């Protein structure tokens, strides 16, 4: 092989690309507008929680870290994706089970996450089973919530403890007051205080603030709009090119 890590980066384009960028951009811009400040003056942690999930740290309006990597597999526990695991695990399974690279791809991307933990990838089903005390569903939700909290903790420090807003979006983030409440539970010491009534109401496509007025970090629910963001960015490119050609 004889290659350095840098040569993998240069020759094979191995790097952390991140995903959901259009959504995180839209969320940061909308959060800034809701807080009445320019996006360039916003520090935020944006949580896009759907069947695919990612968290981004936004500093001065720019993404400085994000949980997905070269592929969407890295980071949070998702509907069917494992998210972060010890990179030695696939090697171990390949050696001991004779699993191929294609097998590992399918296991990690399509058979892991909530599905792998409890047999359901739709969080609504997991929540229903958890309410009846199903231990596998309880475990799956605990792991899902714990991983989101871990990233929020890491990104809070990445931002030097200066977080203006925490944003919830996508299928789970926009609709599940329970998940939002579990993610924010006990975070008062880091400036996050949820208004449980506002949280319960902010579902089904509603946009608004779910933190209390004295919460140092404003917690927002914002239905993402990737189509609008793509259209806005396309317009920007087209206008720039048109004025350069004029």
Contacts with ligand AMP, residue ranges (CB under 6 A): 50-51, 79, 122-124, 127, 170-172, 175-176
Instruction: Tell me whether residue 136 is annotated as binding.
Output: no
Instruction: Tell me whether residue 172 is annotated as binding.
Output: yes
What is the C-alpha R_g of the chain? 20
Residue nearer to ligand AMP on the CB measure, 163 or 202? 202
Instruction: Tell me whether residue 134 is annotated as binding.
Output: no
Q: Which 3 state secondary structure label does DSSP give 17?
A: coil
Residue nearer to ligand AMP on the CB measure, 76 or 123? 123
Instruction: Tell me whether residue 175 is annotated as binding.
Output: yes
Q: How far is the CB of 231 from ligand AMP (least distance, A)?
A: 19
Residue nearer to ligand AMP on the CB measure, 107 or 123? 123
Rounded distance, CA 169 to CA 10, Å? 34
Residue nearer to ligand AMP on the CB measure, 151 or 168? 168
Q: How far is the CB of 55 from ligand AMP (least distance, A)?
A: 14
Q: How far is the CB of 122 from ligand AMP (least distance, A)?
A: 4
Backbone angles phi, psi at 53, to 5 degrees: -130, 145
Q: Which residues pair with 65 in a beta bridge?
A: 57
Instruction: Tell me whether residue 226 is annotated as binding.
Output: yes
Instruction: Tell me whether residue 48 is annotated as binding.
Output: yes
Rounded distance, CA 86 to CA 34, Å? 39
Q: How far is the CB of 8 from ligand AMP (least distance, A)?
A: 31
Of all residues in this chain, which one has the CB nearest to ligand AMP in the complex? 171
Q: Which residues pair with 44 in a beta bridge?
A: 58, 165
Binding residues for ATP: 48-52, 122-124, 171-175
Q: Which residues carry a binding-site annotation for Mg(2+)?
A: 226
Annotated binding site: 48-52, 122-124, 171-175, 226
């Amino acid at each position: 092989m004889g290659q350095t890590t840098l040569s993998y980066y240069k020759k094979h384009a191995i790097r952390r690309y991140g995903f959901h960028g259009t959504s995180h951009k839209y969320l940061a811009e909308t959060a800034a507008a809701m807080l009445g400040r320019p996006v360039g003056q916003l520090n935020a942690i944006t949580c896009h929680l759907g069947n695919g999930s990612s968290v981004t740290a936004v500093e001065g309006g720019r993404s400085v870290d994000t949980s997905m990597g070269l592929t969407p597999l890295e980071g949070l526990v998702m509907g069917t994706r494992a998210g972060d695991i010890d990179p030695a695990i696939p090697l171990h399974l390949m050696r001991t089970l004779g699993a191929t690279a294609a097998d590992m791809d399918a296991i990690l991307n399509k058979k892991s996450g909530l599905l792998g933990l409890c047999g359901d990838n739709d969080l609504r089903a997991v929540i229903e089973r958890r309410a009846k005390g199903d231990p596998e569903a309880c475990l799956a939700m605990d792991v899902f919530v714990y991983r989101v909290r871990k990233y929020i903790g890491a990104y809070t420090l990445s931002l030097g403890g200066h977080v203006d807003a925490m944003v919830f979006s996508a299928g789970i983030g926009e609709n599940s007051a329970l998940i939002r409440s579990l993610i924010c539970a006990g975070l008062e010491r880091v400036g996050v205080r949820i208004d449980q009534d506002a949280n319960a109401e902010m579902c089904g496509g509603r946009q608004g603030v779910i933190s209390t007025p004295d919460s140092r970090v404003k917690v927002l629910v914002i239905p993402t709009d990737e189509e609008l963001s793509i259209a806005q960015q396309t317009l920007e490119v087209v206008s720039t090119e048109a004025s350069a050609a004029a």
